[in-house]
Amino acid sequence: MPKRFQTYHGIAIPPFKEEKIGAGSTTIRFVITGKIPSKKNNSMAVTIRKNAREYLNKIAKNGTVSLKEAQLAIGKTHSKVRGNKEYQSWVKEQKPILLEQMNTWTDRLQSKGLVFPIQKATMSVRFYFNNNYITDTINKAQSVQDLLVDCRIVQDDNYNVLNPIHYASANYKDELIYSICFISISFKI
């Protein structure tokens, strides 16, 4: 019997197309320690003036330019968002650690068919925070997902590759010296 749509607040919700990885799946785990910076925080917009400067140096007569030439120079500028430096240095620090953990899993499971990057998986991430600071789990999760893609552990972090994803966070202030991120990835070999 086909499943029925249910209506909530006047909107018909179809049955969810949930794929299950089923029996015979394998789970591998990764551990990240320390503070995880949010990738999107501290990004900075900067103005790129190189083309404008080159243009002005080329046309300037006795160190002066006309108003029209100055306006043309302004049109030659553009902006760019510079990434979070803390995030970039964190990736540089964590990448070799995750690659080492990935190599451990390769040594253990390559004979059974494990090939990185994983093409389809479910993922569960637990954040064990060692402080009282209220943190945005989703921002941390985005950083972790992007790191997994950068390390080629998973093919991508879109819903065709990682689905479903479960996140949980808890405060372990009096129990841990440093924060821990525990990642479980389940998939069929």
Token code pair at residue 75: 């049109």
Token code pair at residue 142: 């985005």
pLDDT tens, 112-165? 999 999 999 999 999 999 999 988 999 999 999 999 999 999 999 999 999 999
Q: Which helix (H) or strand (E) holds 107?
A: helix 85-109
Per-chain mean pLDDT for the chain: 90
C-alpha to C-alpha distance for 166 and 123, rounded to whole angstroms: 6
Read off the pLDDT band of 43 (50, 70, 90).
low
Q: Which helix (H) or strand (E) holds 140?
A: helix 137-150
Nearest partner of 125 among 115, 114, 135, 140, judged by Cα: 140
* Placement of tokens 């943190």 in the chain: 135
Residue type, 47: T
Does the pLDDT of residue 15 top 90, yes or no?
Answer: no
pLDDT tens, 22-42? 788 999 999 999 999 988 766
- Which superfamily does CATH assign the domain made up of 19-42+85-188 to? Holliday junction resolvase RusA (3.30.1330.70)
Q: Where are the domains of the chain?
A: 19-42+85-188, 44-80
Percentage of the chain surpassing pLDDT 90? Answer: 59
